[in-house]
Structure formats: C-alpha cells, structure tokens
Structure 1
Amino acid sequence: MRFFLGYLALAWLAIGTWLMLDPAALDVSAGVAATSTDGLIELRAMYGGMELAIGLSALWALWRPRWTCHVLFLNGVITGGIGAGRLIGAVLAGSASVYTLSALSFELSAAALCWVFAKRLRSGDQSSG
C-alpha cells in the first residue's frame, strides 16, 4: 500500500508541478488552451493546484499512516470522478484520443486500487502493496 501511495504522490505531484509552471503544455497534449489571463489562472488552479493537492494528500499518508484510509478515499473519489467525467465525455464525443485513453486508464485503475486498498485497510489486512 505504501508503494501505491508513493506512486500516487509522484504521479500527481509531477503532473501538478509541470502544469502549474507550464499550463500551455495542455494545448499540445490535450488541445486545452487558455484564451485569456483568467483562463491561464483557471488552468493553473485546476490542473496545477488541484493535482498538487491530491499528490500532497498521498505524501501526507506516507508520513502519517493513520490518514491512509482517508487519503485513499479522497484519491478514489477524485480520480473516480475525473475518470467518470472523462469516460462520459468520450462517449458523448464518440471518440477518444491516446491522451484521453491514457488518462482514463490511470484514473479508473487508481480509483479501483484506492477502493481495494481502503477496503483491505478497513478489514485489517494491511499486508498488500
């Protein structure tokens, strides 16, 4: 479970830092571009700040193991929500790019693993991951 939390921390902190510093990178990878200063601030907030916060929550659980179940719940809800929104968006659009499928794979698998690990933790089996 600690390995998985470390993976979540690294993944979210890396992408959050990158997009906080260079939100224009989303234009190249996902076709998302700011058309105003407010748009640039919004990209930094939602793609930088939010992802940094998610990553910091996983890092927190590594330092404070008693928070692990809460952090798994938080990560599961957030990644599940983002993944569900992305899946619905792809279905409504009738197509999905490699970017979309890659992000969807990460989000749905992370959400599922958060659920599995949280359930094991709640039942007392902490030997996994």
Structure 2
Amino acid sequence: MITRIFLGLQAMMFMGYGIYCLVEPEALAGAAGVAATSQTGTIELQAMYGGLQTAVGALCALGAAVAMYRRYALVTLIFVIGGLAVVRVTLGLMNAEFSGYNVFAMTYETLTVLAVFWLLRREPQLVPAI
C-alpha cells in the first residue's frame, strides 16, 4: 500500500510539473535560471522538462494503479532521479553552487532514491530474481 501511495504522489508531482513546464517553459527562467534563446531551445525545454517529466509521472501512475508495473516504475525512478542527484550534487560541490533551487532539488532527489531503495527492500516481491 505504501508503494502505491508513494508512486501516486510521484505521479502527481511529475505530471503537474511536467505539464506546467510544457505549457509555460519560460517559467523556468525565473525558477531555475534556464531560458531558451531560440524556438529550438523552447522546444527542448518543453520536451525535457515537459514531456519527459510528464512521461515519468505517467509511468508512476501506472505503477500505482497496476501491481505488475510497480517494480518498473521504481527502477526507473532509481535511474532517472538517481542520475539527476549524482550529477547535481557532484556539480554543486565542484562549483560551490547551492542556490535554493539546487538545494531543494538535491534534497528531493536524494530522499526519493533512498525511499525507492527502502521500498524495494521492504517489498521483496518487487525485486526480480537473478
């Protein structure tokens, strides 16, 4: 049950932020200091922040709703969010860049990955036999 709730919350956050960034990509300039300088740049922001975030959210929603997809959703979160966390923390330390946006993202990403590992250990049926 806790995995379903966790994935449902992740789905709402990812899909909400993704749809917002798809519709309002210029909002990223104020929030994250990321701005497009061309139509190609705007499409890139909409695709990466809008499309990818929404797709990850949809996978989390599927995992929350259908048991056979839970493991896939959790493993996806480990790779996607884990990759963001490792790079963001590493570059934050290398560049001494700890803006409010980065600190929030580092905290969210690190806690999310730790929670996913905990959920996978807590529910061994979600871990495939090797």
Alignment of 1:2 with 2:4, yes or no, is yes
Residue 112 of structure 1: aligned partner: 114
Matches within 5 A, 1:1-129: 1-121=3-123, 123-124=124-125
TM-score calculated relative to the size of structure 1: 0.91
Q: How many residues align?
A: 124
- Return 5+ residue gaps in structure 1 as ranges: none
Matched residues, percent identical? 29
Q: Return the alpha-carbon distance in structure 2 between the equivalents of residues 124 and 75 of structure 1.
A: 18
Moved over 2 A (4+): none
C-alpha distance after superposition, 1:27-64 (max 9, x if no partner) = 00111000011100100111111100110000011221
Deviation at 1:90, TM superposition (A): 0.8
SS of aligned partner of 1:82: helix
**Does the CA contact (< 8 Å) of 2:5 and 2:64 recur in 1?**
no
Q: Return the alpha-carbon distance in structure 2 between the equivalents of residues 90 and 6 of structure 1.
A: 30
- Return 5+ residue gaps in structure 2 as ranges: none
Report the residue type matching 1:56 in the other structure. A
TM-score calculated relative to the size of structure 2: 0.90
Q: Return the alpha-carbon distance in structure 2 between the equivalents of residues 48 and 6 of structure 1.
A: 18
C-alpha distance after superposition, 1:15-36 (max 9, x if no partner) = 1011010111110011100001
Report the residue type matching 1:21 in the other structure. V
SS of aligned partner of 2:106: helix
SS of aligned partner of 1:23: coil
